[in-house]
Chain A
Amino acid sequence: MSECPECGRAIEKRDLIEGEIFPCPDCGMELEVTSVEPFKIAAAPREAEDWGE
Protein backbone atom coordinates (compact mmCIF):
# COMPACT_ATOMS: atom_id res chain seq x y z
CA MET A 1 0.00 0.00 0.00
CA SER A 2 1.24 3.47 -0.86
CA GLU A 3 -0.28 6.94 -1.08
CA CYS A 4 -0.92 9.37 -3.89
CA PRO A 5 1.58 12.20 -3.33
CA GLU A 6 -1.06 14.73 -4.40
CA CYS A 7 -4.25 13.77 -2.54
CA GLY A 8 -3.11 11.07 -0.11
CA ARG A 9 -5.45 8.40 -1.48
CA ALA A 10 -4.28 4.89 -0.53
CA ILE A 11 -3.05 3.01 -3.61
CA GLU A 12 -2.87 -0.78 -3.69
CA LYS A 13 -0.20 -2.68 -5.58
CA ARG A 14 -2.66 -4.87 -7.53
CA ASP A 15 -0.96 -6.11 -10.73
CA LEU A 16 1.05 -2.93 -11.27
CA ILE A 17 4.64 -3.34 -12.44
CA GLU A 18 7.70 -1.18 -12.01
CA GLY A 19 7.65 1.84 -14.30
CA GLU A 20 3.92 1.61 -14.95
CA ILE A 21 1.99 4.84 -15.10
CA PHE A 22 -1.63 5.15 -14.05
CA PRO A 23 -4.01 7.89 -12.90
CA CYS A 24 -4.89 8.28 -9.22
CA PRO A 25 -8.52 7.09 -8.96
CA ASP A 26 -9.39 10.10 -6.79
CA CYS A 27 -7.55 13.17 -8.03
CA GLY A 28 -6.53 11.91 -11.49
CA MET A 29 -2.87 12.80 -11.07
CA GLU A 30 -0.63 10.67 -13.27
CA LEU A 31 1.43 8.36 -11.03
CA GLU A 32 4.37 6.06 -11.65
CA VAL A 33 5.32 2.88 -9.84
CA THR A 34 8.94 3.49 -8.83
CA SER A 35 9.35 0.22 -6.91
CA VAL A 36 7.28 -2.94 -6.52
CA GLU A 37 9.04 -4.46 -3.47
CA PRO A 38 8.57 -2.38 -1.40
CA PHE A 39 5.65 -0.82 -3.27
CA LYS A 40 6.37 2.86 -3.93
CA ILE A 41 4.76 5.44 -6.18
CA ALA A 42 5.62 8.97 -7.23
CA ALA A 43 4.31 11.60 -9.59
CA ALA A 44 4.85 10.43 -13.19
CA PRO A 45 7.61 12.21 -15.12
CA ARG A 46 6.58 15.47 -16.73
CA GLU A 47 6.22 15.48 -20.50
CA ALA A 48 9.24 17.05 -22.20
CA GLU A 49 9.28 18.95 -25.45
CA ASP A 50 10.78 16.11 -27.47
CA TRP A 51 8.39 13.48 -26.14
CA GLY A 52 6.01 11.82 -28.53
CA GLU A 53 5.51 8.97 -30.92
Chain B
Amino acid sequence: MSNAFTLGVFYTVIRPEEKWILEAAANRGIPVERLHDEEVTFPLVRNGFKADLVLNRSVSHSRSLYALRFFEHYGVPTVNPYDVVSLCGDKVFASLRLAEAGIPTPRTVVALTPEAALKALDEVGYPAVLKPPVGSWGRLMAKVDDREEAEQIIEHKTALGSPNHSIFYVQEYIEKPERDLRVFVVGDEVVAAMYRYSSDWRTNAARGGSAEALEPTPELSELALKAAAAVGGGVLAVDLMESPGGLVVHEVNPTPEFKALTGATGIDVAEKIVDYVAEVAKR
Protein backbone atom coordinates (compact mmCIF):
# COMPACT_ATOMS: atom_id res chain seq x y z
CA MET B 1 0.00 0.00 0.00
CA SER B 2 1.33 3.42 -0.95
CA ASN B 3 2.21 5.72 1.91
CA ALA B 4 3.05 8.62 -0.37
CA PHE B 5 0.28 10.69 1.14
CA THR B 6 -0.65 12.00 4.55
CA LEU B 7 -4.18 11.23 5.64
CA GLY B 8 -5.95 13.95 7.56
CA VAL B 9 -8.66 12.68 9.90
CA PHE B 10 -11.05 15.49 10.81
CA TYR B 11 -12.90 14.46 13.95
CA THR B 12 -14.84 15.56 17.01
CA VAL B 13 -14.18 12.65 19.35
CA ILE B 14 -12.39 9.33 18.99
CA ARG B 15 -15.01 6.62 19.10
CA PRO B 16 -14.20 2.96 18.29
CA GLU B 17 -14.78 3.81 14.60
CA GLU B 18 -12.13 6.54 14.57
CA LYS B 19 -9.71 4.42 16.61
CA TRP B 20 -10.07 1.55 14.13
CA ILE B 21 -9.49 3.95 11.23
CA LEU B 22 -6.31 5.27 12.87
CA GLU B 23 -5.15 1.69 13.49
CA ALA B 24 -5.92 0.62 9.90
CA ALA B 25 -3.92 3.58 8.57
CA ALA B 26 -1.01 2.77 10.90
CA ASN B 27 -1.07 -0.88 9.75
CA ARG B 28 -0.73 0.32 6.17
CA GLY B 29 2.09 2.72 6.95
CA ILE B 30 -0.06 5.72 6.09
CA PRO B 31 0.96 8.81 8.08
CA VAL B 32 -2.02 10.43 9.78
CA GLU B 33 -2.56 14.03 10.75
CA ARG B 34 -5.29 14.36 13.34
CA LEU B 35 -7.42 17.44 12.83
CA HIS B 36 -9.64 18.09 15.83
CA ASP B 37 -12.70 20.09 14.81
CA GLU B 38 -12.60 22.03 18.08
CA GLU B 39 -9.10 23.31 17.41
CA VAL B 40 -8.45 23.74 13.69
CA THR B 41 -8.66 27.26 12.25
CA PHE B 42 -9.29 27.99 8.61
CA PRO B 43 -7.61 31.01 6.99
CA LEU B 44 -8.54 31.82 3.40
CA VAL B 45 -5.04 30.78 2.32
CA ARG B 46 -3.92 27.26 3.26
CA ASN B 47 -1.57 27.32 6.16
CA GLY B 48 -0.24 24.92 8.76
CA PHE B 49 -1.48 21.48 7.94
CA LYS B 50 0.09 18.64 5.96
CA ALA B 51 -2.77 16.38 4.93
CA ASP B 52 -3.04 15.47 1.24
CA LEU B 53 -6.54 14.07 1.70
CA VAL B 54 -9.02 14.54 4.54
CA LEU B 55 -11.39 11.87 5.82
CA ASN B 56 -14.28 13.56 7.54
CA ARG B 57 -15.33 11.95 10.82
CA SER B 58 -16.71 15.03 12.54
CA VAL B 59 -20.09 14.33 14.10
CA SER B 60 -21.14 17.95 13.68
CA HIS B 61 -22.94 18.62 10.43
CA SER B 62 -22.26 22.37 10.43
CA ARG B 63 -18.58 21.98 11.33
CA SER B 64 -18.25 19.35 8.59
CA LEU B 65 -19.76 21.60 5.96
CA TYR B 66 -17.52 24.58 6.62
CA ALA B 67 -14.39 22.48 7.06
CA LEU B 68 -14.95 20.40 3.93
CA ARG B 69 -15.52 23.52 1.88
CA PHE B 70 -12.24 24.94 3.21
CA PHE B 71 -10.30 21.75 2.50
CA GLU B 72 -11.62 21.75 -1.05
CA HIS B 73 -10.71 25.43 -1.33
CA TYR B 74 -7.15 24.45 -0.35
CA GLY B 75 -7.14 21.84 -3.14
CA VAL B 76 -7.30 18.92 -0.68
CA PRO B 77 -9.71 16.15 -1.71
CA THR B 78 -12.09 14.97 0.98
CA VAL B 79 -14.01 11.80 1.76
CA ASN B 80 -16.80 12.47 1.59
CA PRO B 81 -16.80 15.60 -0.55
CA TYR B 82 -18.61 18.75 0.55
CA ASP B 83 -21.40 18.27 -2.01
CA VAL B 84 -22.20 14.77 -0.76
CA VAL B 85 -22.25 15.76 2.92
CA SER B 86 -24.24 18.89 2.20
CA LEU B 87 -26.84 16.95 0.26
CA CYS B 88 -27.16 13.98 2.61
CA GLY B 89 -27.13 16.14 5.73
CA ASP B 90 -30.40 17.79 4.78
CA LYS B 91 -33.29 15.36 4.50
CA VAL B 92 -35.19 17.64 2.12
CA PHE B 93 -32.40 17.87 -0.44
CA ALA B 94 -31.52 14.19 -0.05
CA SER B 95 -35.15 13.17 -0.69
CA LEU B 96 -35.26 15.33 -3.79
CA ARG B 97 -32.09 13.79 -5.18
CA LEU B 98 -33.22 10.22 -4.42
CA ALA B 99 -36.57 10.89 -6.08
CA GLU B 100 -34.83 12.39 -9.13
CA ALA B 101 -32.78 9.20 -9.40
CA GLY B 102 -35.90 7.01 -9.25
CA ILE B 103 -35.04 5.50 -5.85
CA PRO B 104 -38.11 4.35 -3.90
CA THR B 105 -38.48 6.41 -0.72
CA PRO B 106 -41.29 6.90 1.81
CA ARG B 107 -43.93 9.36 0.63
CA THR B 108 -42.72 12.79 1.73
CA VAL B 109 -44.25 16.26 1.87
CA VAL B 110 -42.34 19.36 2.98
CA ALA B 111 -43.97 22.44 4.50
CA LEU B 112 -42.41 25.80 5.25
CA THR B 113 -44.80 27.12 7.90
CA PRO B 114 -46.67 25.59 10.86
CA GLU B 115 -50.02 26.10 9.05
CA ALA B 116 -48.76 24.33 5.94
CA ALA B 117 -47.30 21.57 8.13
CA LEU B 118 -50.82 20.63 9.25
CA LYS B 119 -51.89 20.50 5.61
CA ALA B 120 -48.85 18.36 4.79
CA LEU B 121 -49.75 15.94 7.59
CA ASP B 122 -53.33 15.74 6.30
CA GLU B 123 -51.99 15.02 2.82
CA VAL B 124 -49.70 12.25 4.04
CA GLY B 125 -52.32 10.85 6.43
CA TYR B 126 -52.00 9.66 10.01
CA PRO B 127 -49.93 8.20 11.51
CA ALA B 128 -47.09 10.20 10.00
CA VAL B 129 -43.54 11.04 10.93
CA LEU B 130 -42.31 14.58 11.45
CA LYS B 131 -38.55 15.12 11.24
CA PRO B 132 -36.25 18.12 11.43
CA PRO B 133 -34.47 18.52 8.05
CA VAL B 134 -31.07 18.37 9.74
CA GLY B 135 -30.43 15.90 12.52
CA SER B 136 -29.60 12.31 13.20
CA TRP B 137 -29.77 9.47 15.70
CA GLY B 138 -33.57 9.81 15.65
CA ARG B 139 -33.33 13.02 17.65
CA LEU B 140 -36.45 15.22 17.82
CA MET B 141 -38.33 13.05 15.39
CA ALA B 142 -41.99 12.56 16.18
CA LYS B 143 -44.53 9.93 15.23
CA VAL B 144 -47.78 11.84 14.89
CA ASP B 145 -50.91 9.77 15.37
CA ASP B 146 -53.67 12.33 14.80
CA ARG B 147 -54.45 15.97 14.12
CA GLU B 148 -54.63 16.95 17.79
CA GLU B 149 -51.18 15.55 18.45
CA ALA B 150 -49.92 17.29 15.29
CA GLU B 151 -51.11 20.67 16.54
CA GLN B 152 -49.35 20.15 19.87
CA ILE B 153 -46.06 18.97 18.35
CA ILE B 154 -46.02 21.79 15.81
CA GLU B 155 -46.66 24.30 18.59
CA HIS B 156 -43.73 22.91 20.54
CA LYS B 157 -41.47 22.95 17.47
CA THR B 158 -42.45 26.55 16.76
CA ALA B 159 -41.61 27.47 20.37
CA LEU B 160 -38.09 26.08 19.86
CA GLY B 161 -37.60 28.99 17.48
CA SER B 162 -34.73 27.47 15.51
CA PRO B 163 -34.70 27.67 11.70
CA ASN B 164 -34.23 23.89 11.61
CA HIS B 165 -37.58 23.40 13.35
CA SER B 166 -39.36 25.94 11.17
CA ILE B 167 -39.19 23.66 8.13
CA PHE B 168 -41.41 20.62 8.39
CA TYR B 169 -40.38 17.36 6.77
CA VAL B 170 -43.37 15.05 6.87
CA GLN B 171 -43.16 11.41 5.90
CA GLU B 172 -45.60 8.55 5.78
CA TYR B 173 -45.27 6.13 8.67
CA ILE B 174 -44.13 2.82 7.23
CA GLU B 175 -45.73 -0.27 8.74
CA LYS B 176 -42.64 -2.43 8.84
CA PRO B 177 -41.22 -5.32 10.84
CA GLU B 178 -39.44 -4.21 14.03
CA ARG B 179 -36.24 -3.68 12.08
CA ASP B 180 -34.65 -1.72 9.28
CA LEU B 181 -31.69 -2.45 7.04
CA ARG B 182 -28.34 -0.74 6.85
CA VAL B 183 -26.12 -1.28 3.82
CA PHE B 184 -22.61 0.13 4.05
CA VAL B 185 -21.24 1.29 0.70
CA VAL B 186 -17.61 2.17 0.08
CA GLY B 187 -16.95 3.44 -3.44
CA ASP B 188 -18.80 1.09 -5.78
CA GLU B 189 -18.88 -1.83 -3.36
CA VAL B 190 -21.31 -3.01 -0.70
CA VAL B 191 -18.90 -3.95 2.11
CA ALA B 192 -21.35 -5.06 4.82
CA ALA B 193 -25.01 -5.00 5.75
CA MET B 194 -27.11 -5.59 8.82
CA TYR B 195 -30.60 -5.59 10.22
CA ARG B 196 -31.21 -3.17 13.07
CA TYR B 197 -33.88 -4.37 15.45
CA SER B 198 -35.84 -2.27 17.88
CA SER B 199 -39.32 -2.24 19.34
CA ASP B 200 -39.04 1.57 19.16
CA TRP B 201 -40.22 2.75 15.72
CA ARG B 202 -36.82 4.45 15.42
CA THR B 203 -34.33 1.65 14.78
CA ASN B 204 -31.17 3.80 14.93
CA ALA B 205 -28.34 1.91 16.65
CA ALA B 206 -27.71 5.09 18.64
CA ARG B 207 -31.12 4.55 20.27
CA GLY B 208 -30.10 1.14 21.55
CA GLY B 209 -31.43 -1.17 18.86
CA SER B 210 -29.64 -4.47 18.32
CA ALA B 211 -27.87 -5.56 15.14
CA GLU B 212 -27.70 -8.75 13.11
CA ALA B 213 -25.58 -9.51 10.04
CA LEU B 214 -27.42 -9.55 6.75
CA GLU B 215 -26.33 -11.15 3.49
CA PRO B 216 -27.50 -8.57 0.96
CA THR B 217 -29.60 -9.85 -1.91
CA PRO B 218 -28.70 -8.62 -5.41
CA GLU B 219 -31.82 -6.41 -5.28
CA LEU B 220 -30.76 -4.83 -1.99
CA SER B 221 -27.17 -4.27 -3.12
CA GLU B 222 -28.30 -2.76 -6.39
CA LEU B 223 -30.68 -0.38 -4.68
CA ALA B 224 -28.10 0.68 -2.08
CA LEU B 225 -25.42 1.26 -4.72
CA LYS B 226 -27.90 3.24 -6.82
CA ALA B 227 -28.84 5.39 -3.82
CA ALA B 228 -25.18 5.97 -2.94
CA ALA B 229 -24.37 6.92 -6.52
CA ALA B 230 -27.37 9.25 -6.65
CA VAL B 231 -25.98 11.39 -3.82
CA GLY B 232 -22.46 11.43 -5.25
CA GLY B 233 -20.89 8.26 -3.84
CA GLY B 234 -18.10 7.70 -1.33
CA VAL B 235 -18.34 6.18 2.14
CA LEU B 236 -22.05 5.99 2.87
CA ALA B 237 -24.52 4.04 4.96
CA VAL B 238 -27.80 3.53 3.15
CA ASP B 239 -30.73 2.89 5.48
CA LEU B 240 -33.77 1.10 4.11
CA MET B 241 -37.12 -0.11 5.37
CA GLU B 242 -39.25 -3.04 4.29
CA SER B 243 -42.52 -1.37 3.38
CA PRO B 244 -45.56 -3.38 2.29
CA GLY B 245 -44.75 -2.25 -1.27
CA GLY B 246 -41.07 -3.27 -1.12
CA LEU B 247 -37.79 -1.74 -0.04
CA VAL B 248 -37.63 2.03 0.44
CA VAL B 249 -34.54 4.12 1.16
CA HIS B 250 -35.16 6.51 4.03
CA GLU B 251 -31.69 7.88 4.64
CA VAL B 252 -28.17 8.00 3.24
CA ASN B 253 -25.67 8.82 5.99
CA PRO B 254 -22.53 10.66 4.90
CA THR B 255 -20.42 10.19 8.08
CA PRO B 256 -21.61 6.77 9.10
CA GLU B 257 -20.97 4.90 12.30
CA PHE B 258 -20.05 1.24 11.95
CA LYS B 259 -19.34 -0.10 15.43
CA ALA B 260 -22.57 -2.13 15.52
CA LEU B 261 -22.05 -3.24 11.92
CA THR B 262 -18.49 -4.42 12.60
CA GLY B 263 -19.67 -6.24 15.72
CA ALA B 264 -22.53 -7.94 13.90
CA THR B 265 -20.69 -8.94 10.73
CA GLY B 266 -17.06 -9.29 11.80
CA ILE B 267 -16.14 -7.30 8.70
CA ASP B 268 -13.36 -4.77 9.19
CA VAL B 269 -15.16 -1.75 7.77
CA ALA B 270 -12.37 0.62 8.89
CA GLU B 271 -9.90 -1.24 6.66
CA LYS B 272 -12.25 -0.89 3.70
CA ILE B 273 -12.54 2.85 4.33
CA VAL B 274 -8.78 3.33 4.60
CA ASP B 275 -8.18 1.30 1.43
CA TYR B 276 -10.73 3.48 -0.33
CA VAL B 277 -9.18 6.78 0.80
CA ALA B 278 -5.76 5.48 -0.29
CA GLU B 279 -7.27 4.81 -3.72
CA VAL B 280 -8.85 8.28 -3.88
CA ALA B 281 -5.49 9.81 -2.91
CA LYS B 282 -3.87 8.17 -5.94
CA ARG B 283 -6.35 9.73 -8.38
Contacts and interface: CB of A to CB of B under 8 A. Distances in A.
Nearest to A53: B253
B132 to A, nearest CB: 8
B60 interface: yes
B43 to A, nearest CB: 23
Contacts of B254: 53
Contacts of B18: 19
A39 B253 CA distance: 34
Interface in A1-53: 17-21, 32-33, 44-45, 48-53
Contact of B59 (A19, A32, A33, A52): A52
B60 A48 contact: yes
B134 A45 contact: no
B27 interface: no
Given A48-B60, A49-B162, A19 B237 contact: no
B122 to A, nearest CB: 28
Given A50-B60, A53-B253, A19 B137 contact: no
A33 B57 CA distance: 17
A53 B253 CA distance: 6
B256 A53 contact: yes
Contacts of B253: 52-53
Main secondary structure of the interface of A (DSSP, over half): loop
Interface stretch (B8-16, B108-116, B172-180, B226-234): B8-16
Interface residues on B, range: 20 to 34
A53 B139 CA distance: 12
Contacts of A18: 14, 34
B227 to A, nearest CB: 15
A50 B14 contact: no
Given A49-B139, A52-B135, A53-B136, A19 B60 contact: no
A17 B164 CA distance: 35
Contact of A53 (B12, B137, B140): B137
B19 to A, nearest CB: 6
Contact of A21 (B14, B34, B62, B140): B14
Contacts of A17: 14, 19, 22
Interface string B1-41: 00000000001111100110010000000000010101000
Given A17-B19, A20-B19, A50 B13 contact: no
Contacts of B78: none
Contacts of B15: 20-21
Interface of B: 11-15, 18-19, 22, 34, 36, 38, 59-62, 134-137, 139-140, 162, 164, 237, 253-257
Given A52-B255, A53-B255, 13 more contacts: A17-B19, A19-B11, A20-B19, A21-B13, A49-B139, A49-B140, A50-B60, A51-B59, A51-B136, A52-B253, A53-B137, A53-B253, A53-B256
Interface of A: 17-21, 32-33, 44-45, 48-53
